[in-house]
Amino acid sequence: MTEDDDPAAPGRTQPSAADRHPTLKLLNSPRVLGLRSLADASAIASNPAVIADAYGATDRGRVRASNQDQFLIAALERSLLVEGSSLPTDAGTRLIDTPQGRIFVVADGIGGHGGGEVASAVTIDAMAHYCFAAMPWVQRRSECTSEELATGLQEAVRIAQARVRRVARRKALDESLGTTLTMAYVHWPELLLVHVGDSRAYLLRNDQLFRLTVDHTLAQQMIDVDLMTEQEAKQSNLSHVLVNAVGGRSDDIDVELRHLTLELDDQLLLCTDGLYGMVDDAAIATSLRRTNRPVVEVVDGLIAAANAAGGRDNVTAVLARF
């Protein structure tokens, strides 16, 4: 065998992965471990849900000894983790696709001795897991209607409720522990809201603030049958008595769903009662109208205002500006 015949001989250039597998588009990547994005920049730029400015924060407040609120902001995208292959790619390489949308979630836990914190964390984790599993539905728009997705999300809340109960038993916590849940699933321009309890979702459109959710409290039930006014409810302890929550001892749970079409320049705010109980709707609207300020400053400013007004509860806010 001559030097020219031996591909491993000194001075001989080895064929690259691209030369050996010119038709490979997915796995024919540089031999670098870690993350490789397959995202389409033009698809991202044209999807307001993906490029929306979003920020969330939570604070213990000025009175509570612990923080039982939780929040989540997450992009939904497909992912593939290469564990091994004869093809020219390395084990450990993770490939990610173009994000399809976002989820925004807040949860306010109920229960002493850390139980509320556990309930809110478990519920958000369960909903995030469901949304990740539901991603293929988003890809096949023709095969999944909004009604089917809504039904699936309702079932996901019930699964979360069962999981909260299992965790409570395993950790020997008070089985009455529970949590509110307000979640926005955004696949532009569609918004699907999932709501249980008295956390809230607001929409600012054309400088007007709209409340998108109804408080699941005893006070709100009395308002609905004209036994109490809105102003009386604000001063009543019944405004803190939940009639609907994820978890607890009751099997009954009313999952409120709302489907809306978003528009450019809309702002979506999710928050716990620690915010709106201290800062009224007019002040919230004024803060959201300050679009010359980054969303980080707006959210931090709302939380600071709640604490300045007394901070009687944990306060959490998530803001998305489309």
* Contact call for residues 79 and 95 (beta carbons, < 8 A): yes
86-95, 104-113, 118-127, 197-206 — which one is most confidently predicted on average? Answer: 197-206
Task: Provide the pLDDT confidence category of residue 82 given band limits of 50, 70 and 90.
Answer: confident
- Among 26-35, 198-207, 217-226, 298-307, which is the least confidently predicted range? 26-35
Sheet holding 35-37, edge to edge: 35-37, 94-96, 79-81
The pLDDT of residue 309 is 97
Q: Where are the domains of the chain?
A: 40-321
The pLDDT of residue 81 is 80
What digits encode the pLDDT tens for the residues 212-221?
Answer: 999 998 888 8
Q: What is the pTM of this model?
A: 0.83
Tokens of 54: 């979003």
The pLDDT of residue 241 is 82
What digits encode the pLDDT tens for the residues 237-269?
Answer: 777 788 889 988 777 888 999 999 999 999 999
Tell me the β-bridge partners of 321: 53, 267
CATH topology of domain 40-321: Phosphatase 2c; domain 1 (3.60.40)
| pLDDT higher at 194 or 84 | 194
Q: Region 268-293: what's the mean pLDDT? A: 97
pLDDT score of 189 more than 90: yes
| pLDDT higher at 43 or 135 | 43
